[in-house]
């Protein structure tokens, strides 16, 4: 690498980035100043302190958050992260992006997000269960099917959602499974939820490739981040698009083979060895180096601010498909737009997860469940419609795709605020 992946003068605070992105769209829309000011901050947030009995008999104190950014279009909705580097500004940014995400795919929800500062990789199943239940005991008073609905995110999963739904049932005295999405099928989960984020992203890539004249059959794909979204992106990139996966990475580093990787074999290796590192027949690369590997489709699926003003000029795919939230900074966006790199922004590209979570809420509400083919069909319709609306807006205003997605989403939220008489 010739340069570091950071620039000391570049803003990397995710919430300040989210506000800057909003400001850009507000200028295009000539947004009412009062609505603009309202949309720059969360409506409400809760900070909680969680005492948890650890396996060794000690009690450890954890800090957690729940942010409800805007509920003008419906109950807030958003994931819950267990991460050692979690911050309130990250949660605020993610809640803002969830507000725009639900609006851009036009589902009747607002945006929320939660987080707990912890390292789940160092915790036992019993400790994770006690932490999950402690979190719900504190935030249970502000969540609910008609208030705010959490879901899995980084280092949380269906089992953690099940514990949380169970704890909420004890608090309420009855089952309300729709309070949490991403649950196991046994307690009201939805078919198609596990791969929904990646599948929705593949539908959007498919439509973008048609517009760009890119044949995805044999197109090369690089995936940064090999958790749930990244693994399914690899599998579905091959299955749905015919792509060749040439590099993937996780938190410990990446692997590269220009002749292509077998996604299932890499998944099995990671499960057995704890990382993709060391997979036979590959060259080891860093996460930063992986982003600069020449490819047709780059799929950032890890954490925020991976692509910045410092490295964007060396990143040259035809398409950047953001399955992660906030992987690209505003400075990098400007470089990509100038260089003709076509960005599928996070809150469009990764909206498949919240869309199928919404489907799960609908199924919970009337206690009738759809088959997986119905889920896939309805997800495809939502993602395809949203993509074309964003692309047409970008063409109309001659703006980049992220700003176009913001223009659509912010306009929908602003209209809800106006008709409700908030401003």
Active site residues: 113
Asked whether the beta carbons of 301 and 224 are under 8 A apart, the reply is yes
* Secondary structure letter of residue 181 according to DSSP: -
Radius of gyration of the chain (CA): 20
**3-state class (DSSP) for residue 300:** strand
308's CB contacts (< 8 A; 6+ apart) are 5, 6, 7, 10, 12, 329, 331, 332
Asked whether the beta carbons of 395 and 114 are under 8 A apart, the reply is no
Angle between helices 401-420 and 88-104 (to 10 degrees): 80
**3-state class (DSSP) for residue 345:** coil
Question: What is the C-alpha end-to-end distance of the chain, expressed in Å?
Answer: 50
Q: If 0-12 CB within 10 Å is exposed, 13-18 middle and 19+ buried, where does residue 217 land? A: exposed
**3-state class (DSSP) for residue 276:** coil
Reduced 3-state DSSP string for 9-69: CCCCCHHHHHHHHHHHHHHHHCCCHHHHHHHCCCCEEEEEEEEEECCCCCEEEEEEEEEEE
- Integer Cα distance of 418 and 150 in angstroms: 27
* Strand partners of residue 405: none
* Secondary structure letter of residue 396 according to DSSP: H
Asked whether the beta carbons of 258 and 233 are under 8 A apart, the reply is no
- Integer Cα distance of 248 and 265 in angstroms: 12
Residue for token digits 């698009």? 241
Distance of CA 54 to the CA centre of its chain: 30
Q: Within 13 Å of residue 73, how many CA atoms lie on the same side as its CB?
A: 26
């Amino acid at each position: 690498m010739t340069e570091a992946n950071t620039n000391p003068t570049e803003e990397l605070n995710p919430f300040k980035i989210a506000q800057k992105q909003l400001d850009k769209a507000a200028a295009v829309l000539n947004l009412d100043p009062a609505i603009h000011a309202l949309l720059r901050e969360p409506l409400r947030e809760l900070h909680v302190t969680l005492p948890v009995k650890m396996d060794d008999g000690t009690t450890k104190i954890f800090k957690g958050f729940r942010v409800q950014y805007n509920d003008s279009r419906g109950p807030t909705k958003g994931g819950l992260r267990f991460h050692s580097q979690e911050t309130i500004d990250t949660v605020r940014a993610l809640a803002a992006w969830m507000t725009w995400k639900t609006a851009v795919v036009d589902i009747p929800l607002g945006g929320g997000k939660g987080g707990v500062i912890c390292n789940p990789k160092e915790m036992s199943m019993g400790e994770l269960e006690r932490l999950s239940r402690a979190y719900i005991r504190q935030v249970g008073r502000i969540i609910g099917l008609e208030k705010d609905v959490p879901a899995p995110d980084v280092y949380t999963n269906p089992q953690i959602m099940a514990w949380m739904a169970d704890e909420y049932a004890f608090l309420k005295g009855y089952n309300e499974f729709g309070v949490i999405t991403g649950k196991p099928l046994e307690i009201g989960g939805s078919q198609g939820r596990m791969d929904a984020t990646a599948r929705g992203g593949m539908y959007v890539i498919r439509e973008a490739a048609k517009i760009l004249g890119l044949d995805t059959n044999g197109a090369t794909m690089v995936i940064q981040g090999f958790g749930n979204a990244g693994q399914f992106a690899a599998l579905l990139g091959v299955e749905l698009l015919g792509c060749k996966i040439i590099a993937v990475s996780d938190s410990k580093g990446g692997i590269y083979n220009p002749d292509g990787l077998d996604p299932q074999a890499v998944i099995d290796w990671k499960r057995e060895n704890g990382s993709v590192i060391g997979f036979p027949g590959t060259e080891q690369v860093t996460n930063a180096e992986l982003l600069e590997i020449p490819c047709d489709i780059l799929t950032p699926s890890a954490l925020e601010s991976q692509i910045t003003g410092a490295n964007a000029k060396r990143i040259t795919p035809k398409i950047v498909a953001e399955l992660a939230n906030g992987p690209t900074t505003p400075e990098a966006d400007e470089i990509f737009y100038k260089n003709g790199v076509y960005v599928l922004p996070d809150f469009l590209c990764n909206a498949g997860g919240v869309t199928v979570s919404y489907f799960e809420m609908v199924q919970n509400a009337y206690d009738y469940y759809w088959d997986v083919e119905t889920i896939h069909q309805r997800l495809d319709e939502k993602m395809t419609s949203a993509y074309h609306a964003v692309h047409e807006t970008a063409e109309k205003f001659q703006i980049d795709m992220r700003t176009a997605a913001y223009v659509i989403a912010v306009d929908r939220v602003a209209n809800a605020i106006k008709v409700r008489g908030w401003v």
